[in-house]
Amino acid sequence: MKLAMEGFIPCKYLGYREGLKMIRDAGFDAVDFSMYFLHEIENMLDDNFRQTAHGIRSILDELHLPCCQAHAPFTLCVDDNFDEGNPAFAEVVRSLEFTAILGAPHIVVHGPVGSSDPTSAEYEELIYSYFKALEPYCKKFGIKIAVENLRGAGCRTPDAHSRLLRRLDSKWFTGLIDLGHANLVGYTPAEFLRLCDRGTIHGLHVHDNFGINDDHLNPFSGSIDWADAMHALAEIGYDGDFTLEVIRYMRQYSPDMMPEALRLAAATGRKLMSMIQ
Distance set, CA 88 to CA 128, 136, 144, 164 (Å): 17, 17, 19, 22
pLDDT of residue 21: 98
Interstrand relation of 201-205 and 144-148 (parallel, antiparallel or unpaired):
unpaired
Measured at the CA of 146, the angle between CA 144 and CA 149, to 5 degrees, comes to 165
E strand or H helix that includes residue 153: none
Neighbours of 171 (CB within 10 A): 9
pLDDT of residue 153: 81
pLDDT of residue 69: 97
pLDDT of residue 71: 96
pLDDT tens, residue order, the chain (277 aa): 999 999 999 999 999 999 999 999 999 999 999 998 877 887 899 999 999 999 999 999 999 999 999 999 988 899 999 999 999 999 999 999 999 999 999 999 999 988 888 889 999 999 999 999 999 999 999 999 999 999 888 899 999 999 999 999 999 999 999 999 999 998 999 999 999 999 999 999 999 999 999 999 999 999 999 999 999 999 999 999 999 999 999 999 999 999 999 999 999 999 999 999 8
pLDDT of residue 162: 97
Amino acid identity of 144? K
Picking from 29, 40, 115, 38, the residue whose alpha carbon sits closest to that of residue 69 is 29
CB neighbour class for 237 (10 Å; exposed up to 12, middle 13-18, buried from 19): exposed
CA-to-CA distance for 8 and 247, rounded, in angstroms? 8
pLDDT of residue 20: 98
Whether the CB-CB separation of 107 and 147 falls below 8 Å is answered with no
pLDDT of residue 53: 97
Picking from 74, 70, 61, 68, the residue whose alpha carbon sits closest to that of residue 96 is 70
